[in-house]
Structures are given as structure tokens and as C-alpha cells.
Amino acid sequence: MNVATPLSHDGRDPVASCFRQSLTEHRLPHAVETHEIIPLAGGDGVLVSQREPSQLVKVRLDPDTGTLGEPTGYRLGSAASGAHGLAVGHSPSTRGRVWLTQEYIDTVLLIDPAGDDPAHEPTVVRQLPLPPNARGPHYVGEYGDDLWLSLKGNNRVLRLNHTDPTDYTLYPGLDVPIFVARHPATGHFYATQDRENHLMWIDPDEGAVRQIPVPAEQGTTPVGMVAGHGAVWVALLGDARTGTGVFGRIDGEDRVTWFRLSGEGLQASLLHLAFDPPHQPACTCGTDTTEQIRLWLLSSSLLSQKADDAIFEVVIQDDRVISQKRHLLPTQRCMAHRLLRLPGSVLATQMHTASVAQLIVG
């Protein structure tokens, strides 16, 4: 167990000494639920999915200040199709385009966002129906020619070749797969399964599946999962009573190192996480003897009305949390949902207020 200590060894807060922050809120078109957020190619804007009424929102970033401009929403098919998962395309045939899951009609769309200008309407390039026995696509990520999807409708993880949709593999999971991530060291895939409190491990070469339980003493409800710094990282949301302020790092041997926030973060309900861009230097602040890792954690009131909606800045060094700082979102009980780290800012979607909070850092 790694317990957070609020200050570095010389008594200074590395985060506070390196950053100046301002936190603002930006309204989006009305929707019952606002979900995923990804950058547009070139870094000049963002896309946001809204599940009801199933639309894609395009927002341009001010080139001088990096702040969000006026949003424009575009309906994609039926209002009841359930737009949710978003992923940036990286392969030669999808570069500059994005994937979008339609959770309620078991479909994946490949979309041309038509640049960052909100006046230019995104268009659907391809529609990929899912194979039989694949229901409720939630998360989507592109890895070469393969898409990896979590299926909330029947508790499976799907590998689907987007160049040949007849080439696919369904991996049985537990209740309910949410996020999927590929380990940068091993190439194995992991998925969070929030209701069963387990992490799913997949070896795509062997077709093997294992389950890794989350220890009860650490918390419950693994949701957010991302790859970074040679590992896969996971956040624990907690339950209707409280969170535990715990997140974990999975190494190449399936070993999980658990980290716990302290003070204001001791009962944080952690839903999602993000890292600084690769080109951004680590925050040394004159105190480092080993690499420092800065990550951003999103606390959400999604399950517990007692939980704060907040962004936590966290610095890890020598396998322990050496600094943390909480930024309360402007609207509490907004059910904060996803994080996106951009150069100069951190964005957080707010599911039940059709808005995005922007933390300016610099």
C-alpha cells in the first residue's frame, strides 16, 4: 500500500509550485447524458459524445489561449441510438477520423469530423454492425487493424478487425465490462468490470482469459483504465456510500500496486484518469532524484451523492504519492465523467449538466 503524503521532502508542493490554474465551465447543447471526449486531429478542437439525444458535439479551441469556444451539436441517426464511446483513428485508413459506438443499436461508426470548424458537419464514412452475440458496445479503441470494444449488453469484450469485420473474437467476461486497455510492455489487454469488482486479463495470441480480483480492502467498482508510463492504470469508483481514493498500476507480471490519496482525497470516488502529454517534461521542481509521474484523477458523484466532483493533480515518485491537489468542479453533483489532458489544460465532461469543465494549467 502506498499512502499519499501531501508535501515533498523539502516541504514544498511540487504541483502547486509548477502550475498556475483557473477552472471554468462551458455549456454544451442540451442532452440527458454527456459522455466521452477526445481531441481532434491537429489538436485544434475536441469532440464530445452525448448519449441522449445521441449526438456528437464539436468544440474549437482558441489558438491563443487554448480555451473552449462555442459548441455545435450534430445528431447521428436516431435520438435513441445511444452515442457513447469515442476513439481517434491511427491506422492509414482511419487517420484523422474517429470511431463512435452506438450502444443501443449495436453499431460502430467511422466518422470524418470535417476539421475543427463547428460549421462543417461531421459525416459517417462507414458503419460496422457487430457480429452475432455482441450487444451494447460501450468503450472503443483502435489498435492497428483491430477495434477493441467492451460490450455492456452481454458482458463480453470484442476484438473486431475493422478492415475485415468477419475476423473477430468474443471474450467472455463478468458484469459489466467498461474500459479496455492494452499493456504497453506485454501487449495483453485488460478490462474493468465494475459490478463484479474484477479486472479481466486477455492474451489475444493464445485466446486466454483470466480474472484478477480487486482486494476488498482497496475498494470497489473499477471503471477508468488507461495505459501509460509502461503500465496499465485503473481507478476505483467506490459505491453509494463512499469512495476510497484508490487507484492502481498493473505491471507486466499482472502485479497491481495500489495508491491511496490522503486528506481531501481519502474518500474520493475515482472514475477516470489521464496523464500529461508525452512531450511534457516531468515536474521536477528542483527536488527529483528519480522520475516523477504526474497524473490527473477525476472524482465523481456518479454513484454517491456525498462524493465531490473534482480533478486531482497527483505526483508519484519512488512508488508513492508525494503530492496531491484537489480542484472542485464549478457544479457539484454533476456526475463528472471523463478526463482529457491537453497541452495547457485538463477537460472533464459533466454527465448530467451537459457541460465541460476546463482546468487551465501553465
| 40 contacts 350 by C-beta, under 8 angstroms | no
Write down the pLDDT at residue 357.
98
In this structure, the number of other CB atoms found within 10 A of the CB of residue 247 comes to: 27
Q: Of all residues in the chain, what percent carry a pLDDT higher than 90?
A: 84
Examine the pLDDT at 281 and tell me if it is beyond 60.
no
Examine the pLDDT at 43 and tell me if it is beyond 90.
no
pLDDT digits (tens, 9 = 90+) for 230-249: 999 999 999 999 999 999 99
Residue scoring higher pLDDT (10 or 258): 258
Coil, strand or helix: which one is 230?
Answer: coil
Which residues, 6 or more positions from 199, have their beta carbon under 8 angstroms from its beta carbon? Answer: 190, 191, 192, 193, 211, 212, 213, 214, 222, 234, 250, 256
CATH of the domain at 266: 2.130.10.10
Residue 301's nearest CA partner among 233, 241, 218 is 241
- Split into its structural domains, the chain has a count of 1
Examine the pLDDT at 258 and tell me if it is beyond 50.
yes
Report the distance separating Cα 326 and Cα 130, nearest Å: 41
Structural domain range at position 284 = 2-361
**168, containing H or E segment:** strand 168-172
**16, containing H or E segment:** helix 14-18
pLDDT band at 3 (very low <50, low <70, confident <90, very high): very low
Examine the pLDDT at 284 and tell me if it is beyond 50.
no
> Could you check whether the bond before residue 176 is cis, i.e. omega within 30 degrees of 0?
yes
Write down the pLDDT at residue 12.
36
Write down the pLDDT at residue 129.
87
Per DSSP, the residues of 72-101 read EEEE-S-TTS-EEEEEE--STTTTT-EEEE
Based on the number of CB atoms within 10 Å of its own CB, is 186 exposed (0-12), middle (13-18) or buried (19 or more)? middle
Beta pairing, strands 107-112 & 123-129: antiparallel
Question: Which residues on neighbouring strands pair with residue 274, listed in sequence order?
Answer: 296
